[in-house]
Structure 1
Amino acid sequence: MTEHNTKLTSAEIACTWTGYMNDSMSKCILGYFLKHIEDKEIKSIVQTAYDLSTVHVEKLRALFQREEIPLPIGFTNEHDVNKDAGHLYTDTFILTYVNHMAKVGMLAFSGFMSMSARKDIRLYFKEGLQEASNLYDESSDVALSKGLFIRAPYIPYPTEPDTVDSKSYFSGFTFFSKERPLNAIEISHLYMNIQTNIIGSKLALSFAQTSQREKIQNWMLRGAEISEKHVQIFGKALLDNHIQPPVPHDIAISDLTTPVFSDRLAMFQMSFLSAAGTGNYATAAAASQRSDLVVNYERLSLEIGQYAKDGADIMIHHKWLEQPPGTKDKEKLAKKKE
């Protein structure tokens, strides 16, 4: 990054701090994957992702040092991962995870870039966006070549443009009428949210299986149950339209019970996915035009929100929740003088 005299804005501090936390976590997870992965093509993709996270962490560390901002605690290989624990995930799951996180990265980097003013910070996030896009492209190519890419459902091509001719188009199920067939936009969001919940469910089960703390195990198992329930709800909406929900191939976990990741890292990863899921549901609710779908997304978002809050309470209890940079309480400072 280039030298710049202008101080970072609150948005730029927030974005770079969040980026450091996410990439330090990814570096730990991807480093563990590399130790146990067998498929050479998938390993090459994971190596690329690991190298990107490593470079990002170093660039952001240098930025914080130049700006004289304390380095976030983040996550490290020494404290948050046991690479010698054994094999926990299948190669297929690993590829699916990297592909999914590349999609999350594209959304994150584009959002970070749009909130940044300084040229060097915009350039950093612009490069990150391109890297995440390339990673998604390359991981998708490998998944397609191995028959592992789960496509969205097919529908017949439209034969002519059409317009909405009744307010009932926006209605869901009632006792007087059946809901209309799903449109392509609604199908695409149901498909995406099924995919993300399947990944979340498997991750939560793996963390529960390898954690030594009962409270963490219970919270992770609850997360897996929530994800599985949401998959059933979204899948039913597709099945009611005679559309087969997407079924992933062998994104499984082994029977390993030896701790692999620190509970702190596991909790952060699930909180990260919960936040991403809430954003996905909000986007899906805004894009969907059938009222029953909108109601489902809104009520399920509340369930995720309560789950995330309970997770935050556990992290606070164990002093695992790192606080983002913020401003001082001016009133408190004034009264302290007295």
Structure 2
Amino acid sequence: MKNKEMIALTSSELGYLWTGYSINEMSIWYLKTFYEHAEDQEIKELFSFAIEIAQKLLIKRKELLSKEGYPLPAGFSKSDMNPTAPMIFTDRFFLSYLLNGSRLGAEFHIRALFFSTRADVINYHKSCITDVIQLNDRVVNLMLNKGVYWRTPTLPAPTSQEKIHKPSYLDGWLGDTRPLNSMEMANLYVIVELLILIETICIGFAQTTTSAEISDIFLKGRNIAKEHYHSLYDMLSDDDLPIPPSYTAELTDSKTRVFSDRMMICHLAGLFGSLISQYGFALGSVMKHDLLKEYSTQISKSGIFAEKLTKLLIQKEWLEKVPGAITRKDA
């Protein structure tokens, strides 16, 4: 049997470890800054716990990558943040930030786990999943205790098991239309909550950058998130379903720079990447033509904006290259 120490990382394992390192490293700087800005002691304790988890995960990622001889992402430094600047977000926003972050983190590590085959990498991702579940539990419980957790609606139980009898169940444009089913609602609400977070972050970042070019990028991101939000808002309203609250009121009027432009653009690029992934995942459960069209349209619009962000990162020389296949063809 081949020695375990001689088993190289697969491309899938490497991709998730390297990308995860970049995400972890950046998130630590945001978490530390938000910890300093949080006013509620229980929320500060949550950030402290999140920082502890992120640092532990980063150390192990570094060990796994370095042992294989892969250079680590350069990441960010203290010069990319200004922890003494006035806060631009409130405590209620911070809870939403941690909630969405723990959800996205769980999804990332679950995918990473099932694409891994080496024992040490598998055990690492299992540990990551356990940690992020603990964080999510603590965030949800605190939000429930403070009365700020937004629950998706309950539905009346049918009197008997039902079958679909008409092809019009798939319709959504003309003729017989139907309300959203529970799976469509579940994924739609996740997307709406992420759009609310993105819109709020874009406004906060736009008002604190000193660059007109970068501010314009954030405002475009805000407009896209807002447009997507209102499209889904209309679908929920048509079925008399409740809408998650916006967080735009959880912004202060501070215009003092908190994060570097590079750090903010990288975060926005990551958020839009997550948004596209959520749309893609939701498509798999859609059984309504109008919702299918809506998601497909929004994936396209989000993808175009994500490409603009990537081009800006390349132009500014802010984007680090993910390890990939070797070019073997002659130039």
TM-score range, shorter chain: over 0.9
Residue 131 (structure 2) aligns with: 131
Whether the 8 Å contact between 2:168 and 2:176 is mirrored in structure 1 is no
Of the three residues 212, 215, 224, the one matched with 1:214 is 212
The alignment yields a C-alpha RMSD, in angstroms, of 1.4
* Equivalences for residues 183-222 of structure 1 within 5 A: 183-222=181-220
Whether the 8 Å contact between 2:169 and 2:176 is mirrored in structure 1 is no
* Equivalences for residues 180-259 of structure 1 within 5 A: 180-248=178-246, 252-259=250-257
2:270 maps to a residue whose letter is F
Q: Distance in 1 between matches of 2:262 and 2:59?
A: 22
Q: Distance in 2 between matches of 1:126 and 1:4?
A: 20
Q: Distance in 1 between matches of 2:246 and 2:132?
A: 22
Render the CA deviation track for 1:113-141: whole Å, top value 9, x for unaligned. 11111111111111001111111111000
* Equivalences for residues 322-337 of structure 1 within 5 A: 322-332=320-330
2:184 maps to a residue whose letter is E
SS at match of 2:47: helix
Whether the 8 Å contact between 1:105 and 1:132 is mirrored in structure 2 is yes
Tell me the percent identity. 29
Q: Distance in 1 between matches of 2:97 and 2:236?
A: 24
Q: Does 1:63 align with 2:61?
A: no
2:225 maps to a residue whose letter is S
Give 1:239 shift. 0.7
Which range moved further: 297-306 or 279-288? 279-288
SS at match of 1:331: coil
Q: Distance in 2 between matches of 1:131 and 1:4?
A: 26
Gap regions ≥5 residues in structure 2: none
Give 1:248 shift. 4.8
Q: Using a 3 Å threshold, how does the CA distance of structure 1 residues 187 and 325 change in structure 2: closer, same or farther?
A: same
Give 1:262 shift. 1.4
Whether the 8 Å contact between 1:92 and 1:251 is mirrored in structure 2 is no
Q: Does 1:96 align with 2:96?
A: yes
Whether the 8 Å contact between 2:200 and 2:247 is mirrored in structure 1 is no
Which range moved further: 301-310 or 31-40? 31-40
Residue 168 (structure 1) aligns with: 168
Give 1:298 shift. 0.3
Aligned residues: 328
Residue 293 (structure 2) aligns with: 295
Residue 85 (structure 1) aligns with: 85
Q: Does 1:26 align with 2:24?
A: no
Give 1:86 shift. 1.6
1:173 maps to a residue whose letter is W
Give 1:192 shift. 1.5
Q: Distance in 2 between matches of 1:323 and 1:214?
A: 27
SS at match of 1:330: coil
Q: Distance in 2 between matches of 1:35 and 1:206?
A: 17
Whether the 8 Å contact between 1:197 and 1:227 is mirrored in structure 2 is yes
Render the CA deviation track for 1:137-174: whole Å, top value 9, x for unaligned. 11000000001101112222222110000000001121
Q: Using a 3 Å threshold, how does the CA distance of structure 1 residues 83 and 213 change in structure 2: closer, same or farther?
A: same
Which range moved further: 101-110 or 237-246? 237-246
Gap regions ≥5 residues in structure 1: none
Q: Distance in 2 between matches of 1:57 and 1:136?
A: 19
Q: Distance in 2 between matches of 1:241 and 1:152?
A: 14
Whether the 8 Å contact between 1:96 and 1:251 is mirrored in structure 2 is no
2:92 maps to a residue whose letter is T
Which range moved further: 297-306 or 3-12? 3-12
SS at match of 2:85: coil
Give 1:249 shift. 6.4
TM-score, normalization by structure 2: 0.96
Residue 157 (structure 2) aligns with: 157
